[in-house]
Structures are given as C-alpha cells and as structure tokens.
Structure 1
Amino acid sequence: MSELSTNLTEIAHSSSTTIKEEFQENTTRDIYLFGISVGLLITFSSLVLSSWNFVSSRVYLATAGVVAVSLGIGASFGLVSSCGLFFVDIIGVMPFLAIGVGVDSMFVILSEWSDHHDKATVEDQLGATLKGCGGSVTIAALTDITAFFIGLSSRFQSIRNFCAYTGVALLFSYVCHMTFFLGCLTIHGKRVRENRHCVTCTPVEQNPQKEKSCRSFVCSGSQPTKRTDEESYCENIPRKILSAFVQHPVSKCIISVLFAGYIAISIWGCLNLKQGLVLNNLVSDDSYFQKYFKWNTENFEDTFVLSVVFQQMNYLDAGNIQSMTELLYTLEAESTIKDNSSLCWYHLFANSAYFNTSSNSAFLSNLQSFLPSVPHVTNDVEFSPDGTLIKASRCYVFSKNIRDTTAQGEFMLRVRELVDASELNVFVFNPVFIFMEQYVSILSGTLLTVGIAIICMFVITLLLMPHPVMVVLVTVNMLSISLGIFGFLYICDLTLSSITMIDLIMSVGFSVDFSVHVCHGFVTSGKPTRKEKTLDAVKTSASPVVNAGLSSLVGVLALAGSQSYVLRAFLIVMVVVICFGLAHSMLLLPAILSVIGPVGREVGENRNTGNQCRPPDEISTTTT
C-alpha cells in the first residue's frame, strides 16, 4: 500500500497493527545512536580528565569509566533476558539512560582521588579515596537503583520490564566501577608514581627546562604536588565560580527569587498537565501513518468501532438472543454511542431466507451458507474445526466523535461496565483500548510509583546520611524536583503517559544523586561555621557534580537526531531533570546550608570517622 500511487489521487492508509509495527521499526532504527552517544561521552570525559601534565593526565581513565558502564549494560541484557523478561520496544531507551547516569560515579571518585595525591602509596591513596567518597557514591547508586526497582510495582508491563533492565544495568555499572574501574585507577596510580607517560607508559623526564621544543613538552611531565597539577580547567572552573557565587548575599537573594518563581510555574504546569498519548507520536515523523492520522483528524470524526464478542453462547436459546439484543440496545442508548449504529450478523441472518432454527445442524449449515453472501460480516463468526459449534461471534456498535483522551478513557470504562453487567459471556474490545488503559490509570499509577520511590529514598537517606537536617533537605530537594518535572511536562508540550512516567521515576533517583554529594561534603567538613562548611561542600562537590551532570547530557545528546517521539521526549525530560538537579544541588542547597546547616559537636565528630572530604586548600575564594 505504501508504494501504491496514481496520477489523480493521493492515498493514506492504516491498519490495526500499524502503530505496533511502526513503533518497533522506529526503535530498532535508532540503535546506531547509542554508538554515537558512547563516542561523545568518551570524548567529553577525556576532555574533562585530560591535562597538560602527560604523567598525571587521566585521559585513559575516561575510556575505562565508559567501558565499565557498557559492561553493566551488557550484563543487564544478558541476565534479565535469561530470567524470561521480554525486551519491549521502550527498553531501547535504557542504554542511553544508563550510559549517561552510570559515568557520574567516575567523576566523583576521580575528584576525591586527586585530593589525596600526597599519599605515599597507591594503596593508601585508594583507601583514602574510598573513605572520602565511597559513602556518597554508594548512596547515589543505591537511590538510582532503588527508584527503578520500585518501578517494578507499576501496573504497566512495559514499565516493569524497562525498570528491571535499567535497575540491573545501574547495579552492574556500580559493581564495575567498584571493581574494574578501581583496578584501572590503581594501574594509573602506579604509572604516575613511576613517572611514566600517560600514552606510551615509558619513563619521562620531569619537566626539563633547557630544551623548549614540542617534543620536550609532549614527552615530559611529573607527579602532582598539588590537586591542580592533576585536574583540568573543566574541573577547576566550576569549583571557583560556584564557590564564589553561592556565598554572596546578593546571590542568595537572586536564588531565592528564582526558586520561588520556579515553584509557582511548576504548580501552574501541574494544574494544566494533560494525560494520554497522541497515537501519531508513537511512529517516526516520516511514517505513512502520519499522513493518515493528519487526514483522518482533519476530515473525519474520531469515532471507535467497538467489537462486542460473545463466547460459548447457545444461539437457539431465545433467552440468550434476547439478552444479546438488549445489550446492544443498552449500548446504543449511551450518550457516547451513535443511535441505531449496531451491526450484528445475527440480525442480518435472522432477516434472511437462510434463517432456520429447527435444529442446531440446520442453523449452523444455513449460517455457513449465508455468511459468504454478506462479506462485511463473513469473519464475524468463528466455528469449531468440525463446524458443529460456534466458538465465538462478534457484533459492532459505533461511538460518537470523542477527541479528548480523558473522555476516551471514561468512555472505555463505561462500555465495559455495561457489558460486564450482562449475564452472557461477553466482552467489548477496540485496538485503541490498550492506549485508553493508560488514560484512566496513568495519573494514579504515576503518583503511586513516584510516591513509593520518594518514601524509599527518604528511608535510604535516613539510614545512610549522618544528620537528620541533611535528610530533610535532601527530601525537600527531591519533592521540589519532582514537582518541577510534573509541571514542566506541560511547558515542554508533553503529556503524562507511560513514556514520561519512566522519566518521572528516573527523576526521583537523580534528585538525590547530586544533593547527597553536597550534603556529604558539608557534614564531613572540619570547619566551625556554616559559611565555611558550605564553602567546603561546594569546593568538594562542584567539579564532580557539574561534570557528572554534563556527561549525562552528552550521553543523551545524540537522541536529538532521532525521528522517534519516544527518544525525543526522553531527551527533553532528561535535560530538564539534569538542569533542575544541578540547580537544586549547586545553588539552592548551598544557600540553605549557609543559613540553617547543622554545626556543632555532633557534626564535628564526623571528622574522626575517616570520611572527611577535604576541599582543595590551594583554591582561594573571596566571599562577602
């Protein structure tokens, strides 16, 4: 049909399987984008982690971090598939999500590693690194994994399968970072201590001053004597800018006003958020279904043909026939059903010369002779293999024009209610019901799943975060970000559907990720005042958090070239989630901590736990 054309007319067509077939093709067609995402992420990470010191440069560790996440994704596909969970089309989004989120731990670990450059041995440096950031990395990974495992409680099978694949992928990514990546980091530490080149691994001269040549520059280097010797500009700049900005009183006023406006806009967006999924969004922009959908919407009513299917029914029983007829009349009486719109093979047969109820064999024999003469109902009766029994049959009623998705969901529930009230073994069906199911349950299902996720995140933070004030602040951040995601769905011209529900589940874990690093830095700071402790927290967390957020954005950037609404919607929400997460953790949270952050004996005692994250002493920031 797609290749059929004439000189006089244009043709647009569709079938009951079009959306499924086009959605599957659309998902598999964008697989190549994952390769682009991996390439972009390796390039970005290499840029962030490289430096002009060719001994301490960590450019190869960028590749190791991305490989660790890729191993986790592969392990997830293998394990979850072997457990019998089917690969549904929407799982095609999972690699982009996992690759973007999974590398976050790499930046946190390497930032802490640079802070302990003065340790005598690699073992001591690695031990100090894990003492400093192991807790926050574990909390962040645990919250992400838990958020997706909670998604297994969703009533939608596709959501459950997606969350299973993604949760396991993030779990394996964490394991690979704690094993494979730390092993690579150990090799890096030994190479640096032996003063070997980051590319050739050969011993190099320690910054010779006599020969000023390109070869001398590229083939030289030294062990780091301070943190900035190992870090790049991409790591130093966020720390310097943010530590200066968040401490200024004017900045705090600006942050307060901006977030008040953010809350107001989010609430307005939530009040206007629509539910449902427009069907043409499930296919690519160049699909033949787009033309059909456009013409059908512009020129025809949005009506639905309801198949009323009767099973194991005796058609010679007058009581059954009366119940069948009354059911069709009851449906026609509904305000959403067209008057006198029923179409039933039995009524056509009863008004024909073939109709014979003298015996079951005569009824069936004459019916089999009648059906071929009426082509539009030929397929409406299903006989047993020997032709002596009617296994099932169907009649039709036609709805009125129903365009609003909420009204469509209510329509489906109403006709089901009427059919279920019948004493016959009967059900009603339309292929679009699978989408209407979302219209009536997506809001309650999303609120329930996200609510459970928030409660679990609160419990995890309560158990692992060493101060109750920090638990409250992380929870408030989590609620604020979730509110913003709901509200900005409307602003981004997206609806609440099973597709965006995945993003909302993801946002719960993300909202904890960034905040927990800042809170951990504040609690483990040895400074006596809120102002100094906040400055320590920002200096400690700004670089890894900002670069982790940017790496997540780079990981999904390739989706901008997709023709799939699912992938583009995921990209939009991912950008919103990351931007809100960074804004809350790097702007709002430090501003609040500088005012009400916990200080005193109970916080200072954390210095004795061995978990102190020391900010770089060489960075001087002027604050007011």
Structure 2
Amino acid sequence: MLEMVRELESTPYSMGPNSTNFWLAEFNNYRQFFFQDDSKFYDTLKSFLQVSFNSHWETDLVWNTPDKSSKGGSKVDKFVFTTAFKISDWNVRTSLLLTWRNITSKYPEFEALVFDENNFYSDQMLELQSTILSSLGTAILTLITVCVLFIAEPSIVFWVVCTLISMDIGTAGFLSLWGADLDPTTVVNILMSIGQCIDFATHVGYRIYRSEHADPDERIKDAMGAIGWPVVQAGSSSLLAIVVMLMVPSSAVRMFARTSVLVVGTGFFHGLLVLPIIIRSFASNAKAHVPTHPH
C-alpha cells in the first residue's frame, strides 16, 4: 500500500509526500512504540484513534459490521487518503488521470479508485478525441453524399470535398492557435462549422457545374459572376451578426463567435479564391452542363 502511495507521489506535478494525508503512515509511526504482532493490529488501531490528536483519522475509515456468526471484531473495510497535485491545464490533468489509474491498476488487491471532483470532465476529455473524429468522418461523408447528389461531375465533387476538409482543418487549427482546448464546447462548434462550410465551397462548386459554358475561363467567370456576390453577402451578414458576440463575457459564447468568424474567413478564402483556381487548373476538362429544356 505504501509503495502505491509513493508511486502516486512521484508522478509529474505532484506536490510530494508532504502533501499526502494518509492515516496508515501516522499509524505506523505510532505502532512502532508497541511490541505487538499483526494479530493485535486492530486493537492498536483503535487505541491510536482514541488519542485526541489522532481522532480526525476516524472520518477516513469505513468499518464493516460483522454478523453474529463471524469470528473476530470489526475491521476496516474502506478508507481514503489524499495527495496534492498542482495542475493548471486540462490536457495535463487528463493524461495524469490515466497515469494515476495505471498505477492503481498495478495493485488489484487494494481495489483502489482514483477520485477527483473533476474526473467527470476528464473522462469526457478522454472520449472527445475519438468522438470528434467519428463525428467529423460521419459529417464529411454526409457532405460527400450531398455533393454527389447535386453535382454529377466527379472531378468537381472531388475538389469541393477537398476544399471542405481543408476548411474544417483550418478552422480547428486556428481555434487551437486562438487558445481553444479540446473541450465539449469546442467540439460542438467544430461540428457546427461543417454545416456552415457548405454555404461557401459547395455553392460555388455547384454553380460552376451548372454553367453552360464549355470554355473553362468563361465557366469560372460565369459562375463567379452569378454566385460570388451572394456568397459575399451571406458571409458578411453572418459575420456582422456574430462579431458582436466576441464582447460577451462568456467563454462558450466567445468560442462560438470565434468559430463563426474563422468559418466565414476560411469560407471566403476557399470558396472565392482557392476552389475556382483549383477547378480551373485541375478540372478544366469537366463537361459543361447541358440544360434539359433549351431556351
């Protein structure tokens, strides 16, 4: 038991043995003055707890209540001890939680549980990485399905999807540079940004596909003339509505505003500049759309 405690005290960010409150360490110091074998352990423990300056340890112990058929008196069934850590970052706290649990798992005979009032959030943090990857994958597959249904040109669909993925990666990357952590609020905002991204790249790609011009330059010119200004209007109106939220003294609201600002910024860059250039350069052989009903 004491070896497990020493391992916990030696982990990173630990404040050391001086921060540990453990009744067994104090009891061993008390017990060394008595020449008794292990059969007298609980008798000595009870006398230890009866000392006035040791009575506070009683709250750390849970005694079992033996039935009439059992032999011997009551014994300690459960107990707690505390040791301090100085942690300022959620990512560090999450990794340390895994370290603590790995240490306690090496001593299964004690059935030790690591408790911290923030374990609920740390467990969420441990699940967020796999959750966000699976959610992003599902959302991107949904966007690909929508693109395939409306844009019947594989080369344009491919570059539109690449642009959407680039926008999502850029949004997540800039959020990290902006000081955002991978918490539930950030995950929700990133997933929400996928839906906002479709307002830029997909609309531009669809309008390029719908253009009736066979010449690549004329096709891009026609598409940007038809959809470019509406995209700017949509993004600008969203930006004006969201930017004031940056002044709200709430981390969740500010994170939502930051995500929206990044989505609009990356959307303008990819939808109005990157995607037309890429399609002109690498998908110039895409077939022109032939209207079903001629004018």
TM over 0.5: yes
> Is the 1:372–1:378 Cα contact (8 Å) retained in structure 2?
no
CA shift, 1:419, in A, is 0.2
The one-letter code matched in structure 2 to 1:413 is L
Q: Which residue of 2 aligns with 1:331?
A: 8
Distance 1:519 1:329, change over 3 A: closer
Are residues 1:559 and 2:255 paired?
Answer: no
Q: Which residue of 1 aligns with 2:267?
A: 581
The one-letter code matched in structure 1 to 2:61 is V
CA shift, 1:455, in A, is 3.8
> Which string of whole-angstrom CA distances, capped at 9 and with x for unpartnered residues, describes residues 551-594 of structure 1?
33344344234211121122112101112112211222233334
Secondary structure, aligned partner of 2:114: strand
CA distance in 1 between counterparts of 2:89 and 2:222 reads: 53
Over the aligned positions, Cα root-mean-square deviation in angstroms equals: 3.9
Are residues 1:487 and 2:173 paired?
Answer: yes
For residues 22-421 of structure 1, the aligned pairs below 5 Å read 324-334=1-11, 337=14, 338-339=16-17, 341-349=19-27, 351=30, 366=46, 370=50, 374=54, 377-382=57-62, 392-399=78-85, 401-403=86-88, 406-421=91-106
Indicate which of 535, 550, 556 corresponds to 2:236.
Answer: 550
Distance 1:363 1:554, change over 3 A: farther
> Is the 1:343–1:396 Cα contact (8 Å) retained in structure 2?
yes
CA distance in 2 between counterparts of 1:392 and 1:379 reads: 11
The one-letter code matched in structure 2 to 1:431 is E
Distance 1:577 1:381, change over 3 A: same
Secondary structure, aligned partner of 1:429: coil
Are residues 1:524 and 2:180 paired?
Answer: no
> Which string of whole-angstrom CA distances, capped at 9 and with x for unpartnered residues, describes residues 456-514 of structure 1?
43344234421101211111211221232133224423334332222222233322332
In percent, how many aligned pairs have the same letter?
23
CA distance in 2 between counterparts of 1:570 and 1:518 reads: 25
> Is the 1:371–1:377 Cα contact (8 Å) retained in structure 2?
no
CA distance in 1 between counterparts of 2:183 and 2:228 reads: 34
Distance 1:425 1:575, change over 3 A: same
The one-letter code matched in structure 2 to 1:344 is F
CA distance in 1 between counterparts of 2:229 and 2:112 reads: 63
CA distance in 2 between counterparts of 1:370 and 1:431 reads: 31
What is the TM-score normalised by the length of structure 1?
A: 0.39
Distance 1:462 1:407, change over 3 A: same
The one-letter code matched in structure 1 to 2:100 is V
CA distance in 2 between counterparts of 1:531 and 1:507 reads: 31
> Is the 2:175–2:258 Cα contact (8 Å) retained in structure 1?
no
CA shift, 1:392, in A, is 3.4
CA distance in 1 between counterparts of 2:77 and 2:238 reads: 55
> Which string of whole-angstrom CA distances, capped at 9 and with x for unpartnered residues, describes residues 389-448 of structure 1?
76632012334x555655443332222101012122211122244454466565555445
CA distance in 1 between counterparts of 2:55 and 2:113 reads: 24
Are residues 1:569 and 2:255 paired?
Answer: yes
The one-letter code matched in structure 2 to 1:578 is V
Q: Which residue of 1 aligns with 2:71?
A: none
> Is the 1:529–1:599 Cα contact (8 Å) retained in structure 2?
no
CA distance in 1 between counterparts of 2:47 and 2:243 reads: 61
CA distance in 2 between counterparts of 1:561 and 1:582 reads: 23
Q: Which residue of 2 aligns with 1:428?
A: 114
Distance 1:527 1:416, change over 3 A: same
> Is the 1:332–1:340 Cα contact (8 Å) retained in structure 2?
no
Indicate which of 185, 201, 219 corresponds to 1:499.
Answer: 185
The one-letter code matched in structure 2 to 1:415 is W
> Is the 1:371–1:378 Cα contact (8 Å) retained in structure 2?
no
Secondary structure, aligned partner of 1:563: coil
> Is the 1:489–1:496 Cα contact (8 Å) retained in structure 2?
no
> Which string of whole-angstrom CA distances, capped at 9 and with x for unpartnered residues, describes residues 352-378 of structure 1?
79x997698x799x4896498547545
> Is the 1:349–1:370 Cα contact (8 Å) retained in structure 2?
no
Distance 1:529 1:439, change over 3 A: same
Unaligned segments of structure 2, at least 5 residues: 68-73
CA distance in 2 between counterparts of 1:398 and 1:516 reads: 52
Q: Which residue of 2 aligns with 1:466?
A: 152
CA shift, 1:596, in A, is 4.3
CA distance in 2 between counterparts of 1:405 and 1:478 reads: 30
Distance 1:557 1:397, change over 3 A: same
> Is the 1:446–1:501 Cα contact (8 Å) retained in structure 2?
yes
Indicate which of 185, 197, 204 corresponds to 1:511.
Answer: 197
CA distance in 1 between counterparts of 2:60 and 2:228 reads: 66
Secondary structure, aligned partner of 2:80: strand
> Is the 1:383–1:391 Cα contact (8 Å) retained in structure 2?
yes
Distance 1:381 1:550, change over 3 A: farther
CA shift, 1:597, in A, is 4.3
Secondary structure, aligned partner of 1:526: coil
Distance 1:386 1:479, change over 3 A: same
